[in-house]
Structure formats: structure tokens, C-alpha cells
Amino acid sequence: MVNATKVSFFTLSAYFDTGVFKYLYFIIIISLYIVIICTNLLLIVVICMNRSLHEPMYLFLCSLFVNELYGSTGLFPFLLVQILSDIHTVSAPFCFLQIFCLFSYGGREFWTLAIMSYDRYLAICYPLQYHTRMTSKKIAMLIALTWLYPSLANALVVFGLTAPLQLCGNIINNVYCDNYSVVKLACSDTTANNIYGLVHLFTVNVSLIILILFSYMRILKVCFSGSKQTRQKAVSTCTPHLASLLNFSFGGSFEISRFNMNYLPNMLRIFLSLYWLTCQPLINPLLYGLKMSKIHIVCKRLLFGGER
């Protein structure tokens, strides 16, 4: 019979001895983190401080940027400590806390992107009724939903289902703690985890995918039958959102598919496992800051002064 026990710490086996290069990796990681903090914080300040940007689309963007800071803070400081450390272990409570932070970040990102697609659908398909359909109360309710539901759902998974499991090992083949790797170590029954995962996938996630597809099908229909001005508005506001959505889906596919990547070089496996957590916070500020004219103009005015 396999010996099951409550572990007090986990070992992250994906790290390897980099010698003096660990300082180079440390500089790269901290540089990325600083860029993420500065760019996302800049756009949050720009949106909050300018009344002209107090519109539904920009308020959802502000929520998105806050979530990027939340997810990055759950990952980057931890990576920085682990890169400089010679012993890559993490206490069990901190490991479960990191799982909660990173998975609630991913869930919140998906919810926000889905709601933003619905917002674009209303703005483009019902421009005259947009402000009566997307009221301040509805905006507050949708933003609250994107923050509360992923937090509660992931708290149930991490602290209610995963943390109580009896484990037969404590080695996680990753550079950060993730729920799937911990569940794989379980000796006790994981039926509840599997059922919850399937129910969540086929109810919440599929529902959000349907909402996104429905919104863009209607937007495309209006674009093909509408005026040139309508098409230009759709392109200018939907292109950054589509790019962000595709980037998130691409990165998330590595996390969801769980395919065996042992045949890949170790560095590439680490990069793929980190992609969905690092590229969104890096790319989103650039996408929205450069492609959306209102934000672009206000950012230039704030940074360089004057009318530009």
C-alpha cells in the first residue's frame, strides 16, 4: 500500500543549476516585472484620472489591468526568490495560496475578456441604446462578478478540495505551484476534483466561449452590412480585444491541455508553462495603450505634456 501523508512543503523540480547565469535570469525577470508594474499602473492612473475615459469599455479595461498586477504579483516575486535560491522548496500553505492567486487570476482574465466582448457587441450593434443597456449599475455588477466568482470558485477548489488531499509525494515538476500537479500527487480519492473540473468546464467556461462567439458573430454581421464608419469603429475597438483574447487562449491551451512536454528542452517547457502568466500582463498595456486612440492621446499628454 502506498504511504499517504500530509506534506509540509513541496519541491519544485523544474529548476536546474544555472550557475552564474542565474543573475542574468534574475535581471531579466525583475525587468519584466518592473515593465508590467509601470505600464499597467500607468494605464490604471490614466483611466481613473480622466473623466473622458469613464466609459464602460475603459472601466472594464481598468479592471483588466488591475488583474494583471494581481496575477504578476502572485508569480514574479516568487520566481525571483527561487532563481537566487539553491533549494527550490515552498511551504504547503504558501503553495496553496499561490495556486489560488494564479488560478483566480486566469479565471478573472477570461471572465473580463468575455464581458468586454459583450460590451463591444452592445456598443457596435446597438449604438443608440448602448448607454441605456450598459448602465453604471450593470457595469458595477459585471465587474464585481468578474472578481467575486473566480475567487470563490478557486477558493473552493484549492482550499476545499485540493488542500485536504492525502499526498504520496511532494515533488512538483514546474517552476511554480499549480493545482493539476498537486492533484496528481494524491493517494486519496480525487473524484470530487474531477467532477468539479468537468462541471465547471461545461457550464461556466463553455458559456463564456459561447458569449464571445455570439458577440463577434453579431459584430461581423453588422460590419458587413453597415457603413464604413461602423466598420472602422469595430476594427479600432475590437482589434486589441481580439488580439488579447487570442493570446490568452494560446497561452491557456498549454495549461489546460496538460500534454506531455518531456520531449522538449527544459528551458522551452519552462517558457511554455509561464507564457499564459507573463505575456498577458506584458502585451495588454501595449495593445490597448497604442491601439486605442483615446488612451494613446491621454498617455502622451500625461508623459510628455501639452496637446499632442
Question: What is the spatial distance between Cα 203 and Cα 200, in angstroms, rounded to a whole number?
Answer: 5
Domain boundaries, the chain: 22-304
What SS3 state is found at 161? helix
pLDDT of residue 262: 62
pTM of the shown model: 0.90
- The answer to whether residues 87 and 13 touch, using CB atoms and an 8 Å cutoff, is no
Q: What is the CATH number of domain 22-304?
A: 1.20.1070.10
What is the CA 235 to chain-centroid distance, rounded?
Answer: 24
Position 40 scores a pLDDT of 94
* CA–CA gap between residue 99 and residue 79 (Å, rounded): 14
The H or E element spanning position 296 is helix 293-304
DSSP state of 258: -
- Is residue 86 classed exposed, middle or buried when 0-12, 13-18 and 19+ CB atoms within 10 A define those classes? exposed
Q: Comparing C-alpha atoms, which of 286, 236, 297 is closest to residue 40? A: 286
pLDDT means per 10 residues, the chain with 308 residues, are 68 80 90 94 89 89 95 94 90 94 94 95 90 93 95 90 89 89 88 85 88 92 79 81 89 68 69 86 86 71 60
**pLDDT at residue 239, rounded to an integer:** 86
Q: How far apart are CA 109 and CA 252, in angstroms?
A: 11
Q: How far apart are CA 112 and CA 139, in angstroms?
A: 11
